[in-house]
Structure formats: structure tokens, C-alpha cells
């Protein structure tokens, strides 16, 4: 009987933050599919594969699949469809298949597309939980992210200054993922809401991780792709 296809969540980037269950799945896998992107020189880059390698997993088990980075997800869905066919074929050969995702595979992760496709075609799947980047960010800064009766909102970076301002006024703790998509809105709200605390993070869980709550610094920073914010 074929093995279930397992989706392993790698956590925010620091290899030691993977769960023991996730690590065990990687160690048992015959094939580990890792998402990759292409740089300007056409070279494949994969943070996920780097995490897996740092866990002393055999390089021979790692296979990259390239995901185009574009708001138009058409090409990404095609890449997932190709991965689906490869994974199904390898599974029928008796291979133990793992597909990895950074953070948690069910939290703002496009990998859910192929997970749902397996389920729709009655292919058995499993998923291990992972630590989302904003939880690791809170640990990095020593934040009590939410307390007592506080409410938290987690949103993608697609929002206006007006929308963000309304949420700050309402008293929510706000987590903004994909922060690079709302640079101007955040900069504007820093000026509008001097009472709010803005916690800015880059590359959490990597050797390039960075944190500041200095509003002047945040107001002057461009926000790279791997950045997020917690507003309290």
C-alpha cells in the first residue's frame, strides 16, 4: 500500500525550530520536494532546501521545484500541477514522499493548492505543524503578543493606510505578513498613531534576522520580502 504524501512545515528559518515529528518525516523520506525561485542569473535559490540540508538530511533525497514569484499565480499553479504528477508517480513506486513549506504549510502558504488536489483525488496526505514567522518574531523580541482579552488580527500586506488606521483605533493587536506590499501605508500610520507600538522584523529565524521598534528607523526603511510587523 502506498505511503501517505507528507507535508512538512519547516518553521520560520532556523533549522532547530522544526518539530521533532517533522524532522523524523524528513529523515524517513525517499524524496523531499523543496520550493525554489530563480534569481536574475537563472540560478535556483531555495531557503527551504537550505534548512533541510542543515538538518543533516542526505542531499540525494532533495529535489527542487521552481515557483514563479508573481501576483499572477497562473504559472505557480502550473508548477504545482507538474509537482503533483511527479509526486503521484513516485508514490506509486513505493517512495516515501515529503513536500516542505517554510513556516506552517497551512498558514498563508500556496502549497495548500496541491494538498487540496491530492485530497480531491483521494490520495492520502499528512501535514505536520510548524512555527509561523510571527510567533518566532515575538520570541525574538520578547513580546507578549496578546494578553488577557486582547484580540489579534493577522492580515496580508495588501491594505491601505485608512484600513490599517481603523484596526489600530479599534485596539486590535495586528500582525502584518508580506509587509513589503504596504510600505507607504505603514509609514503613514506610524505618524498618525504615536501611541501604538510598531515592532518590525526581517528574516526571522535566519542569521540575517533583524528587529527594531524604533519608529524613526522603521519610517525610513524599505521593507524586503521576508519582513513582518506586529502592532500593539
- What CATH number belongs to 133-231? 3.30.950.10
- The grid coordinates of residue 183 equal 510600505
pLDDT in tens, the chain (232 residues): 789 999 999 999 999 999 999 999 999 999 999 999 888 777 888 999 999 999 999 999 999 999 887 777 788 889 999 999 999 999 999 999 999 999 999 998 889 999 999 999 999 999 999 999 999 999 999 999 999 999 999 998 889 999 999 999 999 999 999 899 999 999 999 999 999 999 999 999 888 999 999 999 999 999 998 899 999 9
Residue of 50, 2, 57 lying closest to 25 (CA atoms): 57
Q: Which residues are CB-contacts of 87 (< 8 A; sequence separation ≥ 6)? A: 5, 31, 33, 97, 99, 114, 118
- The reported pLDDT for the residue numbered 45 is 87
User: Cell 521552481, residue?
Assistant: 66
End-to-end CA distance of the chain: 51
Decide: residue 20, CB within 10 A, 0-12 exposed, 13-18 middle, 19+ buried: exposed
- The reported pLDDT for the residue numbered 119 is 96
User: Cell 524586503, residue?
Assistant: 224
Give the Cα separation of 135 and 133 in Å (integer).
Answer: 5
Give the Cα separation of 131 and 55 in Å (integer).
Answer: 16
> What ranges make up the beta strands (E) of 10-129?
31-38, 44-45, 62-66, 97-101, 125-128
- The reported pLDDT for the residue numbered 69 is 74
Q: Are 64 and 49 in contact (CB under 8 A)?
A: yes
Q: How far is CA 222 from the centre of its chain?
A: 20
Query: Hey, where are the domains in the chain?
Result: 5-128, 133-231
- The reported pLDDT for the residue numbered 74 is 85
- The reported pLDDT for the residue numbered 15 is 95
Residue of 147, 76, 126, 105 lying closest to 12 (CA atoms): 105
Pick the CATH number of 5-128 from 3.40.630.30, 3.40.50.360, 3.90.1170.50, 3.40.1010.10: 3.40.1010.10
Give the Cα separation of 10 and 203 in Å (integer).
Answer: 14
Range list of H helices, the chain: 20-28, 47-54, 74-92, 112-120, 133-141, 161-169, 183-192, 215-220
Residue of 167, 171, 180 lying closest to 149 (CA atoms): 171
Q: How many residues does the chain have?
A: 232
Range list of H helices, 93-176: 112-120, 133-141, 161-169
pTM: 0.89
- The reported pLDDT for the residue numbered 186 is 95
- The reported pLDDT for the residue numbered 37 is 87
Amino acid at each position: 500500500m502506498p505511503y501517505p504524501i507528507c507535508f512538512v512545515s519547516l518553521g520560520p528559518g532556523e533549522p532547530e525550530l522544526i518539530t521533532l515529528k517533522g524532522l523524523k518525516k524528513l529523515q524517513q523520506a525517499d524524496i523531499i520536494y523543496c520550493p525554489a525561485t530563480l534569481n536574475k542569473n537563472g540560478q535556483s535559490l531555495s531557503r527551504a532546501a537550505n534548512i533541510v540540508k542543515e538538518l543533516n538530511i542526505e542531499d540525494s533525497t532533495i529535489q527542487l521545484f521552481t515557483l514563479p514569484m508573481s501576483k499572477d499565480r497562473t504559472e505557480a499553479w502550473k508548477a504545482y500541477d507538474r509537482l503533483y504528477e511527479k509526486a503521484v508517480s513516485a508514490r506509486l513506486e513505493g517512495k516515501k514522499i515529503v513536500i516542505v513549506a517554510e513556516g506552517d504549510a497551512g498558514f498563508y502558504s500556496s502549497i495548500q493548492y496541491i494538498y487540496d488536489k491530492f485530497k480531491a483525488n483521494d490520495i492520502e496526505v499528512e501535514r505536520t505543524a510548524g512555527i509561523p514567522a510571527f510567533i518566532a518574531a515575538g520570541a525574538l523580541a520578547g513580546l507578549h503578543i496578546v494578553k488577557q482579552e486582547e484580540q489579534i488580527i493577522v492580515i496580508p500586506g495588501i491594505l491601505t493606510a485608512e484600513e490599517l488606521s481603523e484596526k489600530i483605533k479599534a485596539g486590535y493587536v495586528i500582525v502584518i505578513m508580506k509587509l513589503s506590499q504596504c510600505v507607504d501605508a505603514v509609514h503613514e500610520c506610524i505618524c498618525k498613531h504615536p501611541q501604538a507600538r510598531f515592532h518590525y522584523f526581517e528574516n526571522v529565524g535566519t542569521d540575517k534576522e533583524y528587529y527594531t521598534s524604533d519608529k524613526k528607523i522603521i519610517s525610513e526603511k524599505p521593507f524586503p520580502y521576508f519582513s513582518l510587523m506586529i502592532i500593539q
